[in-house]
Amino acid sequence: MVFQMTIYHVWRERNERRHQMKGKTADQLHKVIDKTMRNRIACLKYTGSTEMMDYCRDGLNFQADRSSYTC
């Protein structure tokens, strides 16, 4: 799913740069992909195992080492 999301956003960025002459920096693109993936995972409905829900919740709350990074 991450691979597909990355390809989709890179393709959109390519089209935006080509047709509208504006684009995002690599850091901005990374944040958009990250936020989209977090939203997608948060919207999934899990049935059965609460361990899986806890694991996903912990993963979504993970903060990277970069100080400029925010969820």
Percent of the chain clearing pLDDT 90 (strictly above): 34
36 touches 5 (CB < 8 A): yes
3-state SS track over 2-51: HHHHHHHHHHHHHHHHHHHCCCCCHHHHHHHHHHHHHHHHHHCCCCCCHH
Within a domain: residue 38? yes
pLDDT digits (tens, 9 = 90+) for 11-27: 999 999 999 888 889 99
14 in any annotated domain: yes
Tell me how many domains the chain contains: 1
In a domain, 23, yes or no: yes
Residue 69 belongs to some domain of the structure: no
Rounded Cα gap, residues 41 and 26, in angstroms: 23
**Where in the sequence is the domain holding 21, given as residue range(s)?**
2-60
- This prediction has a pTM of 0.59
